[in-house]
Amino acid sequence: MKLFPESAIVQLEFEKIRTLLEQHCKTEYAKQKSLGLRIHTRLSFIETELRQSHEFRQLLQHSVYFPNDFILNLAKELKLLGIPGAVLSGEQFIHIRKLAENIQNIFRWFDNERRLAYSGLALVLEGTYYEKQIKDRINEILDDQGVVMDHASEELRRIRVSLYKKRGDLRRVFERVVQKLNKQGYLADIEESFLNGRRVLAVFAEQKRMIKGILHGESDTRRTAFIEPEETIELNYEVYSLENEEQREIYRLLWALTADLSGHAELLKTYLQVAGEYDFIRAKARLAQDYNGEYPMVVDKAHIHAVNAYHPLLYIYNKRLEKPTIPVSITLDDRNRILVISGPNAGGKTVTMKTIGLNQMMVQAGLLVPVHPSSVFGIFKQLMIHIGDTQSLEFELSTYSSHLKNMKHFMETANGKTLFFIDELGSGSDPNLGGAFAEVIMEELARKHAMGIVTTHYLNLKVMANKTPGIINGAMAFDEQNLMPLYKLIIGKPGSSYTFSIAERIGLEKRLIERARQMVDEDHFSLDRLLNRTEQDLRELELKEKELSKLLKENERLKKEMEQVLDKEKHRQQVELLKEQNRISEEKMMQLKDMDRKMKQILIEWKKTSDKEKVMKEMFSLLFKKDEKQVVNKLQKKIDSKFDEVGGEIKVGIKVKMRRNHQVGEVIELRGKRAVVKIGLLPMQVDIKDLVAVIEKPVIE
């Protein structure tokens, strides 16, 4: 993206976003990429960057571990690896092994399911592969601490075995010498030490001529001499020789390992870049968490539909202070290309402009932005801003001359892919003349189909915006009673500057205010007063709308509570009905069990007795006579006392009695062979054959 002026990155505070992003990076690769973050114009690149940031933010939100823990900078080591004849140390190879293990873990993490779920993150691995031989070759030579292992070669094993034996012999001989000389009183308190890589005796200076050997030095006080006894000289030379052989063999093995892995130098550089890319993506995701960044839709045309957009830096600052941040919603499209924002000073006009500008730059840089996910951002080829006083002492330009110079560049280079921001258009000159030039500038930018936001106090620009196609008005809301800006953008109407209202509220003398009013053109003052009154009426209307919305929500809550009460009542009636049905079923079961028991007893008597006549009478009495002790159903008595059975056809609207449980209800619907009967508040389906029509008995007084 082309920027005008070059300081636009600083003026819109994109430089601060870069710095915050760099603070979240761990690798040198990601830090450099953050500080040099570019603003792109290719849709495919922007979408990939945004999708990768969004996917990693999802991992952070769900606390899913991503195995990219490598943070070392191995650029020098990998460059050295590709130079013929170079030799890397054991520690450097351990770092290379960690890099290979890191890539191995990443490839293992991306199974088939995750490659589909996190396709954006998987794109980083395109064009590379995991080479197992790198790790295996290092493991053959080095241990976990980077030390060349004994079995790295037969020669090294032989040298170290010999070295172990010689050091053991040297230790035993030296200890014998120490014991002998210590008894003779020749040794100082420390007895022994190491000097020039040799194990030496600490001898009193006056006794040094009594001991045969090589003098290696004396202490600072000249009281102690350090002597290598002649008994250990030969062994020391043998140990020294073996140690040199060991170092030569280690060097040879590391040289061979370096030569073997030099063919993978470019692949390892790719591994380092992959680790840096994932660190960079993680940094973007963590930064998005700081300001609640979301993934908006991006389209390849000039378009802005920002819903509840926040200024990311202001959001972070207010979050630390636990203060609310007011979002802004703006739409610029083919029909409405230029927004003219008016309103009082310190009302949020410039912040609104910077919010849209910074969010647009961040989207095209592949960063998530603090907007509602339904927002849509287009792609612009160039961005031009004019914010604040750009007076140049170097070129002896006045404020207005500098302003016109920038406007000249805007009008000459603007096109349909241009996004511009102009703060206080026309300021710095005579209001009438400056306002006229401001109209010409806006007309030219609209003619060239450029998109942008303009802030102004000029009434003629507010009027122009209402009658010029492609230009719309906007106003920053203001609380006239408390003289407090509300930082809320209202689209579709111009705003008042509240010049006289602010003067009255701060206590300026009324005679001065009246004198100023008389000096102002009446039409000019009337229009400003009309804007003032309109804005306040709109605020009152918004408050009433909020109150109405609150009442509607309360009504909806009460409705849900009533539905819950009705559901509970229906449930209670169903439970009572089931209890009654279960009670009747239990009584019938008891009767059947009692009859079964009696029938079995009669059968036993039939087999035993010869008086078959008596048994037959008992059976007849059991089967065909009513039990005189049985109590008549209370519910049936109650229903029979209130209703008479009339029989006839079952129709909608008549009262019916259920034959089984003796409940009475009203038929509200017929469905074939079943009827829907409403009993109390509960409708239920019943077979028509189980119903009988009834009428209510007249009440006898």
Pick from 4, 11, 651: nearest CA to 358 = 11
Higher pLDDT, 640 or 140: 140
pLDDT single digits (tens) 45-54: 999 999 999 9
Given a cut of 50, whether residue 627 has pLDDT beyond it is no
Nearest to 124 by CA among 103, 141, 145: 103
Residues 680 and 571 in one domain: no
Does the pLDDT value for residue 589 go beyond 90? no
Query: 225 pLDDT band (50/70/90 cuts)?
Result: confident
Asked if the model's pLDDT at residue 311 lies above 60, the reply is yes
**Does residue 18 fall inside a structural domain?**
yes
Report cis status (omega within 30 of 0) of the bond before 5. yes
Asked whether the beta carbons of 419 and 383 are under 8 A apart, the reply is: yes
Does 319 lie in the same domain as 243?
no
- What does the pLDDT read at residue 630? 46
pLDDT in tens, 144-190: 999 999 999 999 999 999 999 998 998 898 888 888 887 887 777 66
Q: What is the mean pLDDT of the chain?
A: 84
Query: Which amino acid is located at 18 in the chain?
Result: R
pLDDT at 378 (0 to 100): 96
Same domain? For 265 and 122 the reply is yes
Residue 603: the pLDDT is 77
Q: Which of 14-23, 99-108, 136-145, 193-202 has the lowest mean pLDDT?
A: 193-202
Counting the structural domains of the chain, the total is 5
- Can you tell me whether residue 80 is helix, strand or coil? helix
Q: What is the pLDDT of residue 393?
A: 38
d(CA 285, CA 273): 18
Establish if 531 belongs to a structural domain: no
Task: Flag whether 418 is in a domain.
Answer: yes
Residue where one domain finishes, among candidates 605, 624, 643: 624
576 and 666 share a domain? no
Q: What is the per-residue pLDDT for 263? A: 92
Q: Which of 169-178, 224-233, 324-333 holds the top average pLDDT?
A: 324-333
Q: Looking at residues 243-248, what average pLDDT do you find? A: 93
CATH number of the domain at 478, please. Answer: 3.40.50.300
pLDDT band at residue 198 under the 50/70/90 scheme: confident
Same domain, yes or no: 478 and 581: no
pLDDT tens digits for range 452-466: 999 887 777 777 877
Mean pLDDT throughout 310-335?
93
Together in a domain, 54 and 95:
yes
Classify residue 49: in a domain, yes or no: yes
Looking at residue 628, its pLDDT comes to 40
Residue 178 has a pLDDT of 82
Q: Residue 207 pLDDT > 80, yes or no?
A: no
Q: Are 408 and 31 in contact (CB under 8 A)?
A: no
Q: What is the CATH number of the domain that holds 639?
A: 2.30.30
Q: Which domain holds residue 612?
A: 549-624
- Mean pLDDT for 669-675 is 87
**In the predicted model, what is the mean pLDDT of residues 504-513?**
66
Point out the least confidently predicted range of 12-16, 385-389, 524-528: 524-528
Assigned domain for 233 exists: yes
Confidence at residue 503, expressed as pLDDT on a 0 to 100 scale: 60
The answer to whether 310 and 327 are in contact (CB under 8 A) is yes
Dist. CA 622–CA 638, nearest whole Å = 29
CATH code: domain of residue 272: 1.10.1420.10
Which run of H or of E encompasses 525?
Answer: helix 522-608
Residues 513-528, mean pLDDT to the nearest whole number: 56
CA separation for the pair 363, 297 (Å, rounded): 10
| pLDDT band with cut points at 50, 70 and 90 for residue 433 | low
Q: What is the C-alpha to C-alpha distance for residues 182 and 175, in angstroms, rounded to an integer?
A: 10
CA distances (Å), origin 660, targets 100, 633, 664: 81, 12, 11
357 part of a folded domain: yes
- Of the candidate ranges 105-119, 323-337, 380-394, 588-602, the one whose mean pLDDT is the lowest: 380-394
Q: What contacts 387, CB < 8 A, 6 or more positions away?
A: 11, 350, 353, 354, 421, 423
Q: In the chain, what are the helix, strand and coil shares in percent, each to the nearest 5?
A: 55, 15, 25
Is residue 403 domain-shared with residue 329, that is, in the same domain? Answer: yes
Instruction: Give the model's confidence band at 552: pLDDT under 50 very low, under 70 low, under 90 confident, else very high.
Output: confident
pLDDT of residue 397: 46
Q: Is-contact 406 8, C-beta < 8 A? A: no
360 lies in the same domain as 487: yes
**629 assigned to some structural domain:** no
Model confidence band, residue 27 (pLDDT cutoffs 50, 70, 90): very high
Q: What is the pLDDT of residue 192?
A: 66
Last residue of one domain, picked from the residues 431, 466, 498: 498
Stretch among 127-131, 142-146, 300-304, 599-603 having the lowest mean pLDDT: 599-603
Examine the domain organization and report whether 599 and 671 are in the same domain: no
pLDDT above 90: percentage of residues in the chain? 44
Residue 626 has pLDDT above 50, yes or no: no
* 536 exposure class (CB count in 10 Å sphere: 0-12, 13-18, 19+): middle
383, containing H or E segment = strand 382-386
* 179 plus 279 within the same structural domain: no
* CB neighbour list of residue 405: distance below 8 Å, 6 or more residues apart: 397
- Report whether pLDDT(346) > 70: no
How does residue 519 score in pLDDT terms, banded at 50, 70 and 90? low
Distance CA 513, CA 292 (A): 46
Res. 647 pLDDT band, cuts 50 70 90: confident
Instruction: Tell me the CA distances in angstroms from 669 to 151, 643, 657, 683, 687, one per residue in order.
Output: 93, 21, 15, 10, 12
Q: What is the pTM of this model?
A: 0.69
Report yes or no on 701 lying in a domain: no
Question: In the structure, what pLDDT confidence band is assigned to residue 34 with cuts at 50, 70 and 90?
Answer: very high
591 has a pLDDT exceeding 50: yes
- What separation, in Å, do the N-terminal and C-terminal C-alpha atoms of the chain show? 97
Q: Read off the amino acid at residue 392.
A: S
Q: What percent of the chain has pLDDT over 70?
A: 85
Average pLDDT over every residue of 603-617 = 74
In terms of Cβ atoms closer than 10 Å to its own Cβ (0-12, 13-18, 19+), residue 172 is exposed
84 and 16 within one domain: yes
Residues 609, 647: one domain? no
Whether the pLDDT of residue 139 is over 90: the answer is yes
Phi and psi based region of residue 483 (left: phi greater than 0; alpha: psi -120 to 50; beta: remaining): left
Return the structure tokens found at 461: 């620009």
Determine the average pLDDT of the residues in 62-66: 94
Q: What is the pLDDT of residue 631?
A: 41
Q: Residue 520 above 80 pLDDT?
A: no
Q: Is the pLDDT of residue 253 over 90?
A: yes
- Report which of residues 512 and 335 the model is more confident about: 335
